[in-house]
Chain A
Amino acid sequence: MIEQIIGALLFVILAPVVGGLVAGIDRKVTAHMQGRVGPPILQPFYDIFKLFEKESVVVRPEINFYIFCYLVFLVITGAIFFAGEDILLVIFALTLAHVFIVIAAFASSSPYSHVGAERELLMMMAVEPMLILAAAGMYMATGSFFVADIIAFQSMGGDLLVSSIPLLFLGVVYILTIKLRKSPFDISTSHHAHQELVKGLTTEFAGPTLGMYEIAHLYETVFLLGFVWLFFAGAPILGIVVVAVVYFLEIVIDNTNTRAKWQFALRSAWLVALILGAVNLALLVLGIIQPGTLGVL
């Protein structure tokens, strides 16, 4: 119980810091890839602080409320995850958070945010099956939906999660590009200036409102990286290395791709989920891949 509360609290306090550093490094690496010097690593923090110094202006008062809910539920999502609770509950809370940001964009009633909202919804629809199938795979491999159990299973003699659900891991890495809003799947709003045509669903958010949105993004990044890490939780250090490699890969993809059409994003994400997900689950059911065994227990 205590461990759970500590896990959740650590996430709530540290995630913005870690997320901000990741974003800062991301921007630096991205800049180097493009032959620029890039901003200081701490730039994301400066940006957010600056946003909160600005005047609070909105096109509709409710928007602040919806974005606040978005932030709150992203924090809850990550807190449930790092408290070691049920992974399905985590996925549903994540969905709830995103419904709020979509509604915020709808409520702002501007054409660009409207299109952004529709695209964000499409992207949610694109990634959801993969997330649920990954959770199903984790259950089949470890016998539990609880994050704490999944970690315990791996560290107590069971194989790494990735060894029984490797295809699902690849699928998650694929949709990670969508969830991190990176090119070619940054169609609802790009997070980087170099891809920014119109800021999609965030077009009408400004000042502290946009600040809340940015903080939420930091929380989400850390949660998503935690999700990737879970596949290697039995070897924590290896897990961190893999997370770093995966994130670097995302930056490379981001910088070498132009924005794709939504049709491609949806179809490819579903196809990946269907093929990798179904095949991996079927292999587990048929016993071709044996789920790792709990050595001592």
Chain B
Amino acid sequence: MELLLFLILFPALMGFVFLIFPNTKARDAMVALAALVLIAATVIFFLQNYGAGTVLYEIEPGLVSTAMMAIEVVLALGILYLAAKYKQWIVAALAVIGTGVALYAETLFTGPEHLNNLFVDEFTLIMAVIIGVIGSLICIFATGYMRDYHDHHKEIKDKRQGFFFLLFVFLSAMFGVVFSNNIFWLFFFWEITTLCSFLLIGYAWDEQAQKNAFWALLLNLLGGLGFGATFLYLAFTDPAGDLVMLDSLIAAGPAVAMIPAALIGFAGLAKAAQMPFSSWLLGAMIAPTPVSALLHSSTMVKAGVYVIVRFAPIYDASFVGFLVALVGGFTFLLASGIAISQSNAKKVLAWSTIANLGLIVTCAGIGNAAAVWAAILLIVFHAIAKSLLFLCTGTVEHRIGSRDIEDMGGLVSILPKVTIMMIIGIAGMFLAPFGMLISKWAALRAFLETPYGIVAVILIAFGSAVTLFFWTKWMGKLLQVAWKPEPKREGEVSKPEFYSLLALAGGVVIICLGFPLLSSVVVEPFLEGIYGIGASLGDQNIAIMLMMMVVVFILPISLIFFRRNPKMIPHYVGGRMETGDMHFAGSMGIQRKVEMSNYYFEGIFGEAKLGRVGNILCTLFIACIGIVLATGVIA
């Protein structure tokens, strides 16, 4: 238990240290050190606890709850102040309502105080490793990146002390979210993550950053109302307060827990940036890249899907669950479609995150054991591959001065190592035999086991075809080398950046090779605890996957053979005359340079068009959930 408390408290404590420490190399070194300690602690924590099943920890709530309440009030006042200053009246209203309802509801419970406020099970453990290891690596990366960032953006005020403070507090709050068994505690940490992301998105604090930060705050506070409503519901149905504990709430089954599951699921949908809430995550792209990486991989949106997956057993085979799955499924399809029309790498990554979270939400909504298996592995694969991709994009952006995919042509000759890592990340996102595809495959099987699952199957079939398009054309662009390759610029990448990239790329490979182990040691016991049955892909399939993986790693050896002998010749280009460095003889004797760019299909997959469709559809589905619950037709 000491280690568990250490994980929650240590990052926050370090955060306060960084807040007062000046911007020096020593501070950066301390950040790296703290991050390494956190990684070690997380790994030890995992090794100590895997296989122990669900362990509840008794914490005397009295003083802690009071302290939390006090902090909640202070934070709410802080939001109110900012909201008033920038005339964000809706934000102010939401902050007052959210905090007020939570505080009021807390007084309604009459029963004795409960002790099992913290808990650990296999799913928590996985989340803890994602937060602790990937989050920490991003912090290490940030030390190198932020130095470059302020060299590039002289106009932005250097607030790195606050920046690192927020990063570490964010990690603390995330640990709090996944360890809390008490829903009030969960809500406390939940709101802190909302606030941290608000401040981090607004880092540059120019007009655009303010606007986007407040928008993110608004939508997340709106989602947070789902918690407030849950508290009120529980206060009236169960004043003794037994159901305030997550474990007893979920164990109580759908008849009791369906309404809380839907309400907290609503909060989860907002936080996981599902349509119609997806706009805040895109606005968040304005923040420095490590923040994006953090939001997308190990914090924030992962908290959203975490609570939804938690309630998957409640959604299982219910109409509400089906509606949740539809929100996820349509978000997956449409967000993938929008990613096709984007050439800004960060936007492609953002839309693909929204899409993948959609897939996770679909799995959770379907809610059977196989679907939850897929959902948990999706969370793992997505966390690691996406953080790698974001950080690579950030590194590349500082070297070539652009985050546009069209400007990344031939990157493999300029930054070969970073490019290879980027390709590993991209492959991890959609290709057999790598990570995400395994889960997509498992998801397909899981959906076929439920009668209405074919809707989800159709959404996935089209969605994954679309995914294929935008990832492959990006990969192609990276590997497209011009006739005269540009000189290498890899030396410019700082050490903290390079090593955290290397660690993440290694992580992608290890997790792809090691997923059967991960599945059998952690995920299957978790499912057995809930459903009484495990789920897996079958040994034969795993064997073939691993064989394919080996082939993928052996094949590059053949490069030695292919590199040895071939004669290099100029392009043939269908017989057209050209000068050898990709200039064409145009009409009137003018030489023209070849320009090649990818398809983006703005007209078919445009953001405005598909986004509108998605927002309308998903709002309808969410409204349907409300109607179903209100009329009491809980099937």
Contacts and interface: CB of A to CB of B under 8 A. Distances in A.
Given A106-B476, A132-B460, A204-B571, A88 B444 contact: yes
B299 to A, nearest CB: 31
A213 to B, nearest CB: 14
Interface stretch (B14-22, B317-325, B385-393, B593-601): B593-601
B458 A76 contact: no
Given A95-B468, A96-B433, A99-B431, 7 more contacts: A92-B432, A96-B548, A103-B479, A125-B469, A140-B448, A203-B574, A274-B458
A57 B569 contact: yes
A110 interface: yes
B437 interface: yes
Given A59-B568, A76-B548, A109 B469 contact: no
B461 A72 contact: no
B454 A285 contact: yes
Contacts of A88: 441, 444-445
A109 B485 CA distance: 12
Interface in B533-560: 538, 540-541, 544-545, 548, 551, 555-556, 558-559
A151 interface: no
Given A65-B558, A110-B571, A140-B448, A133 B565 contact: no
Given A103-B476, A108-B571, A281-B454, A56 B545 contact: no
A114 B566 contact: no
A8 to B, nearest CB: 11
Nearest to B460: A132
Contacts of A68: 555, 558, 562
- The secondary structure that dominates the A interface is helix
Interface in B476-492: 476-477, 479-483
Nearest to B540: A85
A132 B481 contact: no
Interface string A32-59: 0000000000000000000000011111
A92 B479 CA distance: 22
Given A85-B540, A96-B432, A121-B468, A112 B573 contact: yes
A189 B477 CA distance: 20
Nearest to A269: B465
A73 B477 CA distance: 22
A2 to B, nearest CB: 15
Contacts of B556: 65
Interface of A: 55-62, 64-65, 68-69, 72-73, 76, 80, 85-86, 88-89, 92-93, 95-96, 99, 102-103, 105-112, 114, 117-118, 121-122, 124-126, 128-129, 132-133, 136, 139-140, 145, 198-199, 203-204, 206, 270, 273-274, 277-278, 281-282, 285
A73 B431 CA distance: 12
Of B457, B472, B563, the most chain A CB neighbours within 10 A belong to B472
A72 B466 CA distance: 25
A7 B582 CA distance: 47
A132 B481 CA distance: 34
Interface band, chain B:
35 or more
B475 interface: yes
Contacts of A92: 432-433, 437, 441
Q: List the 7 shortest-distance A-B pairs measured between CB atoms, nearest first.
A: A106-B476, A128-B465, A92-B432, A64-B562, A132-B461, A129-B461, A198-B574
Nearest to A108: B571
Nearest to B455: A278
Given A57-B567, A118-B473, A128 B464 contact: yes
24 contacts: A59-B569, A61-B568, A62-B559, A64-B562, A64-B566, A72-B555, A73-B551, A85-B544, A96-B432, A96-B433, A96-B548, A106-B475, A106-B476, A110-B573, A110-B594, A112-B573, A124-B468, A125-B469, A128-B468, A129-B465, A132-B457, A133-B458, A133-B461, A274-B458
A62 B492 CA distance: 26
A121 B472 contact: yes
A238 B573 CA distance: 45
Contacts of B451: 285
A120 to B, nearest CB: 9
Contacts of B477: 106
Interface in B404-452: 410, 431-433, 437, 441, 444-445, 448, 451-452
Contacts of B480: 106-107, 109, 114
A175 B545 CA distance: 26
Contacts of A204: 571-573
Contacts of B599: 118, 121-122
A285 B453 CA distance: 10
B566 A56 contact: yes
Given A139-B448, A273-B461, A56 B432 contact: no
A270 B445 CA distance: 22
A93 B461 contact: no
Nearest to B451: A285
